[in-house]
Amino acid sequence: MTHTATGSGPLRVLVVDADDRVRESLAGLLGIGRRCIVVGTAGHPTEALAVLADAAPDVVVIDPRLPEVDGGRAFIARVRELAPETRILVLGWSDNLEQDLIGHGAHAFLRKTFRPRELVDAVLAAVRPAIA
Q: What is the pLDDT of residues 19-60, one digit of tens each?
A: 999 999 999 999 988 899 999 999 999 999 999 999 999 999
Question: Nearest CA to 79 among 98, 103, 61?
Answer: 61
Q: How far apart are CA 105 and CA 33, in angstroms?
A: 28
- Dist CA 36 CA 31 (whole Å): 6
Q: Given this model, what pLDDT does residue 72 score? A: 74
74-101 per-position pLDDT tens digit: 888 899 999 999 999 988 876 665 555 6
All structural domains of the chain: 11-131 (3.40.50.2300)
Distances from the Cα of 57 to the Cα of 8, 72, 94, 98, angstroms: 15, 18, 26, 22
